[in-house]
Amino acid sequence: MMAGQPVVALESTIISHGMPYPQNVETALRVEETVRQAGAVPATIAVIGGRLKAGLSADEIDMLGKKGKDVPKASRRDLPVLVARGSDGATTVATTMIIAHLAGIQVFATGGIGGVHRGAEKTMDISADLEELARTPVMVICAGAKAILDLGLTLEYLETKGVPVIGYGTEELPAFYSRQSGFKVDYRLDTPEELAAAFRAQQEMGLGGGMLVTNPIPTEFAMDPVQIGAVIDQAVADACQLGIHGKEVTPYLLARVAEITSGDSLAANIQLVLNNARLGALAAKALTR
């Protein structure tokens, strides 16, 4: 922790690639304020002018929001070139974990992680987020893997890599927009103190890697799993028809789902991020005690 203070890392891909301007900037600032109100220090992470930065100014957040998709989406493989060129980069879950760890930040709150994409047995499209969880010692708090993914295969991959998948107050893996997925997590923990104790034990034993904490979207903002499932199926079919692949898939699918739901999915996305930020602050505080 920085100077003994609880700190929560926040990603920047959601700013440049996750929402339109100015809603992206407004949401980023709301998330930071939520962390502060819960008693921790927010550290939004990005690559700015070739520098790895943990903690952005309001002007830097606004710049990322205005430039939007003109800012490269930066995963582990992109960091060397972006730094060498002195470029900007919006950090994914994987890259945010890397920079958080370099800065001594142990807790990272985000919306949803990447995972194994549908049809990965043919495309081999598996997010680098999963590999980072297996190697970088950061507690990642999310609302589950993004519902556009193959959740069952994502859990299998995490099991193979030895990543503990914790349900916060639940035994079932949340499915991002909804609270149910039909899949079980490894363990249920019910308090920030339990999360901190488990993460501390993992690190003290030298097991390596991170811990995934899945925090269900609040009930009042959750979407019906059957209805959102049908919408996601339609978005996936549209992406296949358009030949969209690689790192463009997730931004397209999230935008298409928001379009089909007339913005309801985007509103749910904002609420689950705020919910995760609150829990991130509580977990970070528990780790400092």
User: Which class for 249: exposed (0-12), middle (13-18), buried (19 or more C-beta within 10 A)?
Assistant: buried
**Is residue 131 among the annotated active site residues?**
no
Phi, psi values for residue 65, rounded to 5°? -65, -45
Helix (H, G, I), strand (E, B) or coil at 254: helix
Instruction: Select which of 53, 73, 146, 285 is catalytic.
Output: 146
d(CA 289, CA 277): 19
Give how far Cα 206 sits from Cα of 74, 226, 235, Å: 28, 41, 42
**Is residue 73 among the annotated active site residues?**
no
Helix%, strand%, coil% for the chain, nearest 5: 50, 20, 30
Cβ within 8 Å of residue 259, ≥6 positions away: none
d(CA 194, CA 65): 36
d(CA 216, CA 9): 19
Residues 266-287: b if buried by 16+ CB within 10 A, e if exposed: bebbbbbbbbbbbbbbbbbbbb
Instruction: Select which of 11, 32, 60, 132 is catalytic.
Output: 11
Asked if 158 and 165 touch (Cβ cutoff 8 Å), the reply is yes
Asked if 93 and 129 touch (Cβ cutoff 8 Å), the reply is yes
Number of residues assigned to the chain: 289
**Please, which residues bridge with residue 175 across strands?**
178
Catalytic positions are 11, 146
